């Protein structure tokens, strides 16, 4: 576990840290007086006033960095969860204004990526998102795509990520698991709603990657019930769940002979081949490339994989030739892999002739094929190139604009002490086959008002769009309450101005459509 312990400051010290910071470039309004202190004077809280334009609407907002103490299963204070809230400042407060609770995944990731890439009021800016600078200085700018015009935003960093820490005597295993994490996040939400007086506000969850599973587990934990792991009635319902980079089966163990992943990887491989010019001129768009791959996967490819080693040699060669046409990887490579080319092999083979490797998290990105350190994250051409800008710019934002001066480091992603020890339901580090879309169907049955929005990038080979579609198709989801959107982006389906603009418009429509008009007084 992470052994660093959150040091809390006194109320007097906390108030000295309160900053009223005006967003750069905003001519008005001037900062107001220092905002009120924390509910508990021992807890840290830093508040500041800003202004910006979001969705074409100019508004003032309050940024609040605050910690909330959540208990373990015995009710003892166990962890400090630090969040970032952005709240519209209005002459007359609107208690029914929606609230979006946002988190990333990993598990082991802080909320920095959605916070500073898509939904926060400020963001890291890349002139070319596919070829970002990898060394400072990095650019910070206003984010017109933030949803602050339609909802308040709360970015949650789970235990042992970001600034969130365990308290002395707490056990890491009480937080490192699907159920344990959901319990802590639900307690955080209950406290946040009470502290900010927002119990009657429409509530939404926005989760990215593993945040898919967290959001679904959280919907169950908030509802509560008689049976374990509940034991009490929560009855906290949600208006909507939005999932970015969907991971309905993340953490699921692989079963021998289970070829579903090869079927669902194929459209993303075709998208990458189209993007990098590896397909014929007759394929006019990325959508056309993916549609052809999807049709082949559901018919001939499915039958060939189902036949296994009994597939006749002529048919095997025909299938390999078609796979080569769809993906740009030569037929001999498909034959050598028994028609089951994995993501790592595809990354190395697609642009082998150019001496380049493509990224798994975003197949548009490239780096020289060799030498590589072999790390699945820092050596990935996508993650290795866009994360430096996010992390450096976010730290600049923390200190210069939000006035955060915490002594402990901000942890963007923790693998060894969190991800590798995660309990998916069997025991720490053990995974089993799972489809969390079935649990989502239960949540939608319990709450007939719950709407679900799913956005995935065409170029994501980690959590492909086709995998999400497959998982959802095999769960009794009410289709009239489900929206699925694909975009020409990667695992973070908002990288790129066109993708971000379209996703923001879709999310605004989703939030507005999932809120029932208030009754007339």
DSSP 311-352: S-HHHHHHHHHHHHHHHSS-HHHHHHTTT---HHHHHHHTTG
Does 21 fall in a domain? no
Q: Are strands 203-208 and 240-244 parallel, antiparallel or unpaired?
A: parallel
Does 38 fall in a domain? no
Taking the whole predicted model, whether its pTM rises above 0.75 is answered as yes
Share of the chain above pLDDT 70, in %: 88
Share of the chain above pLDDT 90, in %: 79
* Strand, helix or coil for residue 213: helix
Residues 101 and 210 in one domain: yes
Dihedral sign, CA of 46, 222, 455, 261? positive
Residues 401 and 505 in one domain: yes
Surface-to-core class of residue 3, CB atoms within 10 Å of its CB (0-12 exposed, 13-18 middle, 19+ buried) = exposed
Residues 393 and 436 in one domain: yes
pLDDT tens per residue across span 46-79: 999 999 999 999 999 999 999 999 999 889 999 9
For residue 379, pLDDT beyond 60: yes
Domain interval for residue 488:
94-252+387-513
Cα 23–191–161 angle (5° rounding)? 65
Q: What is the mean pLDDT of residues 136-161?
A: 97
Residues 266 and 237 in one domain: no
Does 23 fall in a domain? no
For residue 354, pLDDT beyond 50: yes
For residue 18, pLDDT beyond 80: no
Residues 268 and 243 in one domain: no
Does 87 fall in a domain? no
Residues 283 and 242 in one domain: no
Q: What's the 3-state SS for 68-95?
A: EEEECCCCCEEEEEEEEEEEECCCCCCC
According to DSSP, the residues that pair with 423 across neighbouring strands are 177
Q: What is the CATH number of the domain that holds 127?
A: 3.40.50.1820
CA nearest neighbour of 294 among 475, 473, 490: 473
For residue 387, pLDDT beyond 60: yes
Residues 318 and 439 in one domain: no
Say how far apart CA 203 and CA 193 lie, in whole Å: 10
Residues 239 and 269 in one domain: no
pLDDT value at residue 342: 93
Residues 266 and 378 in one domain: yes
Domain limit, last residue, from 340, 366, 382: 382
Residues 363 and 405 in one domain: no
Average pLDDT taken over every residue of the chain: 88
């Amino acid at each position: 576990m992470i052994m660093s312990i959150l040091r809390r400051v006194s109320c007097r010290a906390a108030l000295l840290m309160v900053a009223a910071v005006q967003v750069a470039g905003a001519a008005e309004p001037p900062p107001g007086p220092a905002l009120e202190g924390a509910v508990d004077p021992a807890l840290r809280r830093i508040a500041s006033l800003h202004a910006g334009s979001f969705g074409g609407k100019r508004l003032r907002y309050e940024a609040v960095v605050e910690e909330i103490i959540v208990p373990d299963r015995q009710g003892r204070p166990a962890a400090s969860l630090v969040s970032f809230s952005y709240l519209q400042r209005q002459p007359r407060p609107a208690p029914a204004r929606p609230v979006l609770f946002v988190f990333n995944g990993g598990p082991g990731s802080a909320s920095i990526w959605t916070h500073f890439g898509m939904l926060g009021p400020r963001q890291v800016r890349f002139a070319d998102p596919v070829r970002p600078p990898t060394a400072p200085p990095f650019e910070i700018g206003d984010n017109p795509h933030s949803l602050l015009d339609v909802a308040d935003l709360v970015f949650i960093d789970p235990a042992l990520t970001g600034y969130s820490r365990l308290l002395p005597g707490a056990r890491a295993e009480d937080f490192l698991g699907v159920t344990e994490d959901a319990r802590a996040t639900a307690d955080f939400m209950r406290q946040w709603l009470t502290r900010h007086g927002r119990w009657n506000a429409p509530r939404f969850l926005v989760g990215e990657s593993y945040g898919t599973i967290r959001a679904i587990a959280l919907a169950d934990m908030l509802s509560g019930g008689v049976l374990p792991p509940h034991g009490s009635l929560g009855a906290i319902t949600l208006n909507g769940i939005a999932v970015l980079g969907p991971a309905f089966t993340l953490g699921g163990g692989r079963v021998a002979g289970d070829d579903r992943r090869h079927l669902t990887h194929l459209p993303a491989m075709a998208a990458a081949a189209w993007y990098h010019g590896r397909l014929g001129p007759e394929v006019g768009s990325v959508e056309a490339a993916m549609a052809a791959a999807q049709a082949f996967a559901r018919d001939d490819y499915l039958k060939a994989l189902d036949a296994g080693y009994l597939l006749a040699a002529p048919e095997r060669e025909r299938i390999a030739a078609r796979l080569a046409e769809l993906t740009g990887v030569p037929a001999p490579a498909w034959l050598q892999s028994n028609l089951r080319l994995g993501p790592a092999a595809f990354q190395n083979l697609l642009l082998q002739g150019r001496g380049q490797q493509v990224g798994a998290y975003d197949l548009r990105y490239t780096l020289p094929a060799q030498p590589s350190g072999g790390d699945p994250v820092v050596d990935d051409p996508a993650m290795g190139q866009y994360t430096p800008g996010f992390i450096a710019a976010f730290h600049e934002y923390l200190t210069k604009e939000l006035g955060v001066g915490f002594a402990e480091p901000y942890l963007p992603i923790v693998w060894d002490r969190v991800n590798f020890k995660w309990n998916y339901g069997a025991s720490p580090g053990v995974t089993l086959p799972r489809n969390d879309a079935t649990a989502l169907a239960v949540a939608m049955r319990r709450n007939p008002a719950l709407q679900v929005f799913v956005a995935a990038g065409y170029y994501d080979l980690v959590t492909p769009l086709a995998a999400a579609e497959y998982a959802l198709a095999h769960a009794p989801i009410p289709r009239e309450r489900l929206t699925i959107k694909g975009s020409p982006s990667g695992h973070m389906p908002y990288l790129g101005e066109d993708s971000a603009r379209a996703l923001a418009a879709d999310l605004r429509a989703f939030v507005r459509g999932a809120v029932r008009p208030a009754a007339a007084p």
